[in-house]
Amino acid sequence: MERPRLVLREELAIRKLVTFYYREMTKYFYASGERHDFWEFVYVDKGEVEIFTDTANQRLRQGEMIFYKPNVLHGGKAVNGSAPNLIILSFECTAPCMAFFEDKTFRLQADDRQLLFRIVQEGLKAFDPPIDSPRNTYPRRREGEGASFGGEQMIRNYLEILLLQLIRKGGKAGGEGKPSSVAGEKQGDEVVSAIIRFLQSHVANNYTFDQLCEEFAISRTRLKMIFKEKTGNGVMEYFNRLKIEQAKRMIREEAASISEISERLGYSSNHYFSRQFKRITEMAPSEYMRTIGARTVKEEIGRGRW
């Protein structure tokens, strides 16, 4: 006898992405406003922005997300001289439950941020150029070597789960205080979290792996194992990437010249700094500066993508 099959209920489905960016804006970021016929959310990963819609003006700080329903006017700008990092993702979805997100702002809780982190991680591998590249305009599928199996489906699944989870919670505030960056966040072992906080607050200093082991009273073998497990990187590579992220922010905020940035971040020479910068970003500091400069012109005349 054939057994009955239960067709699983689907509350919402996302099958088409329109844009997906991890944008490192300059302090001059300004978008005069646009309308489009699809959904979009903006998440502030670092910094602060002022946004406006048809109905209101408000400020979004690190850890906060806003949704724009189709055909609503929206735009915004950087504030307080900061160069914000934004996750901007737009998609088609006609499910009736999406009405929940109209005119909604959220402060994401830890489990929400973890889902968003996974979406970003998959986006970095699924598209070419990746979502954090200044050359990224619209998602273009990565083919062949380097493509991650099932990456696009993972993005879709994580995104659907994030939306369902926010609806279940009813948009209540997390009340957890200032969150850490999605780009650098990995929940887990308290020792790893403590080391990450230490490196973030001492990014201009230089430490060896042995010094960190001594500082946190942990063996080399254990530190290697738990840090790699929780972050996906070795300790020193993670520290190098923190330095380069700080360098990129200083370039965008026009805080110093290339040589001054190199010195402030503790590099032994401009040549070594440039080599590390290019290894991690695939651009020399001067090229990154030109790219940012070109984008600033667009932002200043109100055409920055929002």
At 188, phi and psi to the nearest 5? 155, -135
| Assigned CATH for 16-169 | 2.60.120.10
201-230 confidence digits (pLDDT tens): 999 999 999 999 888 888 888 888 888 888
At 124, phi and psi to the nearest 5? -70, -25
Amino acid, single-letter form, for residue 239: F
Average pLDDT for the chain = 86
Domain boundaries, the chain: 16-169, 190-295
| Assigned CATH for 190-295 | 1.10.10.60
7-53 confidence digits (pLDDT tens): 999 999 999 999 999 988 888 888 888 999 999 999 999 899 999 98
The pTM score is 0.67
CA distances from 85 to 22, 128, 147, 182 (A): 7, 20, 25, 10
Amino acid, single-letter form, for residue 95: A
Question: What's the 3-state SS for 184-197?
Answer: CCCCCCHHHHHHHH
59-109 confidence digits (pLDDT tens): 999 999 999 999 999 999 998 888 899 999 999 999 999 999 998 899 999
Distance, CA of 181 to CA of 273 (rounded, Å): 24
> String of b and e for 110-133 (b: at least 16 CB within 10 Å)?
eebbbbbbbbbbbbbbbbbebbbb
> String of b and e for 202-221 (b: at least 16 CB within 10 Å)?
ebeeebeeeebbeeeebeee
Q: Are 142 and 89 in contact (CB under 8 A)?
A: no
